[in-house]
Amino acid sequence: MARIAFDLDGTLIDSLPDIMEIANALLAEEGRPPLSRPEAMSFVGNGAPAFIERMRAARELPDTGQERLLATYLARYDGAVDLTRPYPHVEDAIDALAAAGHSLGLCTNKPLSPTRAVLAHLNLDRRFPVILAGDSLPERKPDPAPLHATLDRLGTGPRLYVGDSEVDAETAQRAGIPFLLFTGGYRKTPVDRIPHAAAFDDWSALPDLVTRQLASAA
């Protein structure tokens, strides 16, 4: 059986509405206009510090505000769960993979505290015994270290990574691990320009896709 690591935001869950609510409240307090969904989506993927940096640049907020805005953003992030939803069929797909004997873990750039908060809120926490978050190691994706660490903690067996973005694809490529691309998330690039072993747009297709990927690798 395989060791399978998953990204979180844009892969398992659509958290962008909650992220936008926090960000736009911060911008309103600074007297700046709100982010659109495409703008906010384009800022997601490299962790909270990068999101705030990109938000500041887009709204011409001074560099001196980075640490203050980041601290406020993170302080509100743990409770930002009410608008977040799993993508359709995520729970069934995860349960089917676990029932088939695969070991499942989470590798995300989201900080650990809000990661655990949203997983608990959505009743997804019990499904992932191994979680590596954006502040678990000194490195963040696309550095491959978090992905290697996640999969190492899952034991032995073939390795797969499931994500939705260019950052995830680069992480998998640098780690030398087959990448399964969920096309319905936060990617900014056409699918055919993102390196991947296989792609899917419906989570109900993932268990069979994993089976086929493992068979072809064998």
Catalytic positions are 7
Q: What's the sign of the alpha-carbon dihedral 66, 139, 9, 74?
A: negative
Contact 35, 27 (CB under 8 A): yes
Q: What is the Cα–Cα distance from 147 to 46, expressed in whole angstroms? A: 14
Angle between helices 66-77 and 48-58 (to 10 degrees): 120
φ, ψ (nearest 5 deg) of residue 106: -120, 130
Strands (E), 7-58: 13-14
- Distances in Å between the Cα of 108 and the Cα atoms of 31, 135, 178, 203 are 31, 9, 17, 19
Sign of CA dihedral 145, 147, 151, 157: negative
How many residues can be counted in the chain? Answer: 218
d(CA 167, CA 186): 10
Q: Are 104 and 98 in contact (CB under 8 A)?
A: yes
| Spatial separation of the C-alpha atoms in residues 179 and 161, rounded to whole Å | 5
